[in-house]
Amino acid sequence: MVMRHDPGPRSGLAKLKGSGRRRRGAAAFTLLELTVMLVVIGLLAGVLVVGTDLHRVAAVRMQARQLEQFNTAVAAFRLKFGGMPGDLRAEQASALGFEPRSGARGHGDGNQLIEHCTADMGGLKVYGCEFTLFWSDLATAEMIPGQFAGTDAGADIQTAEAAFLYFPAAALVTRGQLIVNTDADRLLPHWLSIMRILEMQPDGSSTSWSSPVIPADAEALDRKLDDGDPAGGSVHMLATPILPGPFAPGLIGGPGLCTENGQYNLTVSEGVCQVNVGLSSQ
């Protein structure tokens, strides 16, 4: 007779122990997978941060290059045509094939300032005239890329998209424009300003625009082009987020704005800076 071995309870216990070891092994493998996954997520997050920083550095570098190119174009235009783009005298502009202008104040009067013009109705300052002729003159002379709808009348800018018909896009910020700002009281009367137009009526009756550059990028651009001082040099800041009028006076300083206590307010990560870069007077 063949005797069969009865596994008995002990063999069953051994099975349970083996099963427990397998379960513990499976749990340990799951924890290992989780650890690897967390490490991978951390690495990806680090790559994303580094990539974002590199993108910002590249954008600042591109903006600096764009401003330098425009500055060079203005200097070359003045050397070639004997006047500021947009401000060429009416007879000279017509003879050279530029957009016609009347020669009145702000209409190509040759006074070396880039100015608004005054509307006949109500004496309002009209956003256009030499401010838009500036860019169309440079483009017509093939000194900057693109074509711009310079006009000797008010510019019909009622939407943000329409602004790009008259002004070039800024390289640093999305939907930002480069606009000429004339301030005759400063050492450098002509400034290229980075701002974002939101809405504007051609008769000058209402305007809204924003200061789109974050303080960290403004500081980086200032240090690349100038001295890093937001209130001095050939690069300076206006620090009010929303202002009425095309070039209403800005404020330097104040909590939550572009600068505070004479320094860039790096605690702010929103666009609150209007960057102004002086054009060469030569």
pLDDT per residue as tens digits for the range 38-93: 777 777 765 555 456 788 889 999 999 999 999 999 999 999 999 999 999 999 99
pLDDT, residue 231, reads 84
pLDDT, residue 249, reads 39
Q: What's at 106, amino acid-wise?
A: G
- Long-range contact list for 57-65, CB < 8 A, 24+ apart? 57/220, 59/171, 59/172, 59/217, 60/172, 60/217, 60/220, 60/221, 60/224, 61/224, 62/171, 62/172, 63/170, 63/171, 63/172, 63/194, 63/221, 64/221, 64/224, 64/225, 65/171
> What is the CB neighbour count within 10 angstroms for residue 132?
27
Which of the pair, 44 or 160, is modelled with greater confidence?
160
Q: How much is the average pLDDT of 131-152?
A: 95
pLDDT digits (tens, 9 = 90+) for 1-41: 445 555 555 555 455 455 555 455 445 557 777 777 777 77
Torsions phi, psi for 3 (to 5 deg): -90, 125
Question: Is residue 178 within 8 Å of residue 70, measured between CB atoms?
Answer: yes
Confidence of residue 282 (pLDDT cuts 50, 70, 90): low
Q: How much is the average pLDDT of 199-216?
A: 82
* Percent residues over pLDDT 70 in the chain: 77
pLDDT, residue 16, reads 47
3-state secondary structure of 156: coil
**Could you tell me the pTM of the whole model?**
0.76
What is d(CA 156, CA 133) in angstroms, rounded to the nearest whole number? 14
pLDDT, residue 184, reads 58
Q: How much is the average pLDDT of 220-230?
A: 93
pLDDT, residue 248, reads 37
Confidence of residue 245 (pLDDT cuts 50, 70, 90): very low
94 Rama class: left (phi>0) / alpha (psi -120 to 50) / beta: alpha
Least confident among 49-53, 70-74, 172-176, 226-230: 49-53
Does 273 have pLDDT greater than 80? yes
What the block records as the tokens of 258 is: 């572009």
Confidence of residue 242 (pLDDT cuts 50, 70, 90): very low
pLDDT, residue 177, reads 92
Q: What is the CA radius of gyration of the chain?
A: 31
* Percent residues over pLDDT 90 in the chain: 41
Question: Is residue 194 within 8 Å of residue 178, measured between CB atoms?
Answer: yes
Which of the pair, 175 or 42, is modelled with greater confidence?
175
pLDDT, residue 247, reads 36
Name, in order, each residue with C-beta under 8 angstroms of 180's C-beta and a sequence gap of 6 or more. Answer: 86, 114, 131, 134, 135, 190, 191, 192, 193
Q: How much is the average pLDDT of 148-162?
A: 89
pLDDT digits (tens, 9 = 90+) for 91-139: 999 999 999 999 998 999 999 889 888 776 567 778 889 999 999 999 9
User: Rounded mean pLDDT of the chain?
Assistant: 80
